[in-house]
């Protein structure tokens, strides 16, 4: 059997565009000899559609789109199509389903059994769970149908399975020769190796071909890497889809050697870079923008953000804005201009000294008798934020925020200032990884970030001689404490047993806890780690436990 995997990048609720893309991909696969085609999970509407799934008119459009695609693909073989589905007579029940289309009709509907309700997933808010998965027969084979999470509950692979029904076991019991898993499984650093091992183990355990067809693209804060795969009954990988781009490839169960296969680069800086580029490109374009601007400080974060933007959208669509103050070093200005020249992006320079003086004069009376402090430093950042937003409004360009995860975690950023923007490209990238990506780029022929920027001690340059290390631990120490506390949920005592000084840990945890209100108002960021500051992390703002790090 030749199975066409349609690794697609839909746009949420672009029903016409998504349907055209599905039909076109189906025709491509058919032209390559596919007997049957498979889309990712919820390909008709795109994943995640979130609360749009609560609207009856949206659900009706999903149903109409399924019927349209059935008619348009009636001349080729069967198609397993991911879509929300409402069964006749079941008022108020919506299912995350796989519709089997053939000869212009919906032949059978299979629905998702396990609905995830953790991290960024909220599927029980929108869908009903099926009691069991199902199979169908085609070309003398029994084909089992599963949807994403259905494959993630094997008690022999996981130390702590979720319990309850095991859809893979049930499909094996029904005699499946082939198990198809239609997925919208997001990207995460290190996740692909786990996914690959798990699916290979399922193929071996149940002695089946395991077909994993994954969504690709950026969807708000999430990135889906594609990386569709086919596993043989011995657990070996017999076919790989492209990573971080649309792909249509056909796998022949009777002749695996003739199937397409693309290597997957699991080097951390490499996959982080590609996720950021794809996430930025899709967020900007799917939001209806084509151009972006960002502030250029001469530092590492704005340099990497500019490099991502130039690669994602083309350098001609990126503007870097320099806003020097009396505290800006000549090197920072020169480094910013060298970066812009290296990337090929446009620049605008707007000195802010006169604006700082205007604020000082306006506040002179109300601040009388008070010494300058962080208030004046933050005013500089807010001046810059105002200028950037003004240009964004006037030009119709999206403003990219340049802050990294380490700064956002400890609140080393100014609300309504350098936190301004529509997308925080590096919001889930720790500072140490920012440097790793920059160094990786210089060795892989990517956008070149000047060595002077990479080697420069990090500084906000809001006061004379300021350095990040004046206020923060060294970033290698800070990032490890943050990883343990934010991503792993470790307590202060547990972190201290790793060899960190108690007073340093206490300081970091206090900064994290006191800054929750800032993150609540931050722009969305591209998620690449296990725990990002976004929809998957839900912390109270008014709470006694936020006074001290526990």
How far is Cα 376 from Cα 328, in angstroms, rounded to an integer? 15
Overall average pLDDT of the 332-342 stretch: 94
How far is Cα 361 from Cα 351, in angstroms, rounded to an integer? 18
- Residue 134 gets which letter from DSSP? E
288 is in an annotated binding site: no
**Span 252-302, pLDDT tens digits:** 998 876 666 788 889 999 999 999 999 999 999 999 999 999 999 999 999
The two three-digit tokens of residue 500, written as one number: 């960190």
Q: How many residues does the chain have?
A: 550
Question: Which pLDDT score, from 0 to 100, does residue 299 have?
Answer: 94
Question: Which pLDDT score, from 0 to 100, does residue 463 have?
Answer: 66
How far is Cα 224 from Cα 245, in angstroms, rounded to an integer? 9
Label residue 550 by pLDDT band (50, 70, 90): very low
302 is in an annotated binding site: yes
Question: Which pLDDT score, from 0 to 100, does residue 263 have?
Answer: 85
- Among 2, 37, 99, 112, the active-site one is 112
How far is Cα 292 from Cα 313, in angstroms, rounded to an integer? 9
The two three-digit tokens of residue 496, written as one number: 């201290």
141 is in an annotated binding site: no
Question: Is 341 an annotated catalytic residue?
Answer: no
Residue 549 has pLDDT above 60, yes or no: no
Question: Which pLDDT score, from 0 to 100, does residue 259 have?
Answer: 66
The two three-digit tokens of residue 36, written as one number: 């049957």
Higher per-residue pLDDT: 17 or 463: 17
- Determine if residue 396 is left, alpha or beta; phi over 0 gives left, psi from -120 to 50 gives alpha, anything else beta: left
Mean pLDDT, the chain, integer: 94
Residues 6+ apart with CB under 8 A from 31: none
Question: Is 213 an annotated catalytic residue?
Answer: no
- Determine if residue 227 is left, alpha or beta; phi over 0 gives left, psi from -120 to 50 gives alpha, anything else beta: left
How far is Cα 68 from Cα 373, in angstroms, rounded to an integer? 64
**Of 172, 187, 184, 251, nearest to 2 (Cα)?**
251
Distance from the Cα of residue 74 to its chain's centroid = 35
Out of 126-140, 208-222, 468-482, 491-505, pick the least confident: 468-482
Overall average pLDDT of the 336-353 stretch: 96
- Among 26, 148, 213, 413, the active-site one is 148
Write out the H or E segment, with its range, that includes residue 490.
none
Question: Which pLDDT score, from 0 to 100, does residue 6 have?
Answer: 98
Domains of the chain listed by start with CATH number: 2-254 (3.60.110.10), 271-468 (3.40.50.620)
295 is in an annotated binding site: yes
Helices 431-443, 475-482: axis angle to 10 degrees equals 120
Question: Is 112 an annotated catalytic residue?
Answer: yes
Question: Which pLDDT score, from 0 to 100, does residue 164 have?
Answer: 75
């Amino acid at each position: 059997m030749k199975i066409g995997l349609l690794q697609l990048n839909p746009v949420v609720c672009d029903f016409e565009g998504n349907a055209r893309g599905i039909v076109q991909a189906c025709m491509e696969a058919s032209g390559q000899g596919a007997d049957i085609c498979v889309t990712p999970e919820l390909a008709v509407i795109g994943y995640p559609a979130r609360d749009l799934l609560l609207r009856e008119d949206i659900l009706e459009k999903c149903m109409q789109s399924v019927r349209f695609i059935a008619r348009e693909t009636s001349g080729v073989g069967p198609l397993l199509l991911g879509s929300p589905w409402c069964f006749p007579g079941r008022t108020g029940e919506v299912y995350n389903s796989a519709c089997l289309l053939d000869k212009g009709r919906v032949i059978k509907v299979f629905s998702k059994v396990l609905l995830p309700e953790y991290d960024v997933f909220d599927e029980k808010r929108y869908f009903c769970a099926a009691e069991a998965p199902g199979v169908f027969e085609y070309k003398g084979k029994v084909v089992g149908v599963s949807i994403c999470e259905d494959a993630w509950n094997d008690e022999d692979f996981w130390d702590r399975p979720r319990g309850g029904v095991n859809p893979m076991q049930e499909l094996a019991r029904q005699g499946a020769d082939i198990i198809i898993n239609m997925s919208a499984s997001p990207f995460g650093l290190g996740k692909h190796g786990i996914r690959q091992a798990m699916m290979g183990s399922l193929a071996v355990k149940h002695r089946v071909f395991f077909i994993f067809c994954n969504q690709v693209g950026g969807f708000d804060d999430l990135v889906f890497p594609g990386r569709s795969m086919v596993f043989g009954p011995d657990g070996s990988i017999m076919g790989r889809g492209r990573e971080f781009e649309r792909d249509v490839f056909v796998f022949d169960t009777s002749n695996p050697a003739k199937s397409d296969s693309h290597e997957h680069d699991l080097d951390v800086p490499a996959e982080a870079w590609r996720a950021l580029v794809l996430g930025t490109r899709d967020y900007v374009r799917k939001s209806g923008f084509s151009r972006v601007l960002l502030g250029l400080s001469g530092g590492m974060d704005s340099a990497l953000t500019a490099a991502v933007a130039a690669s994602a959208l083309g350098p001609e669509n990126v503007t870097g804005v320099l806003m020097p103050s009396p505290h800006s070093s000549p090197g920072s200005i020169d480094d910013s201009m060298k970066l812009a020249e290296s990337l090929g992006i446009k620049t605008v320079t707007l000195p802010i000294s006169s604006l700082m003086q205007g604020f000082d004069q306006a506040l002179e009376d109300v601040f009388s008798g008070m010494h300058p402090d962080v208030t004046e430093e933050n005013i500089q950042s807010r001046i810059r934020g105002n200028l950037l937003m003004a240009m964004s409004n006037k030009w119709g360009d999206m403003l990219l925020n340049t802050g990294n995860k380490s700064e956002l975690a400890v609140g080393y950023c100014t609300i309504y200032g350098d936190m301004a923007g529509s997308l925080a490209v590096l919001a889930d990238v720790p500072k140490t990884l920012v440097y790793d990506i920059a160094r990786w780029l210089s060795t892989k022929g990517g956008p070149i970030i000047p060595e002077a920027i990479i080697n420069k001690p990090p500084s906000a340059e809001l006061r004379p001689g300021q350095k990040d290390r004046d206020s923060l631990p060294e970033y290698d120490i800070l990032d490890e404490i943050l990883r343990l506390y934010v991503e792993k949920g470790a307590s202060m005592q547990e972190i201290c047993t790793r060899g960190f000084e108690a007073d340093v840990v206490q300081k970091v945890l206090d900064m994290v806890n006191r800054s929750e209100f800032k993150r609540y108002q931050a722009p969305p960021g591209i998620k690449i780690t296990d725990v990002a500051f976004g929809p998957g992390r839900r912390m109270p703002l008014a709470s006694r436990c936020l006074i001290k790090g526990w």
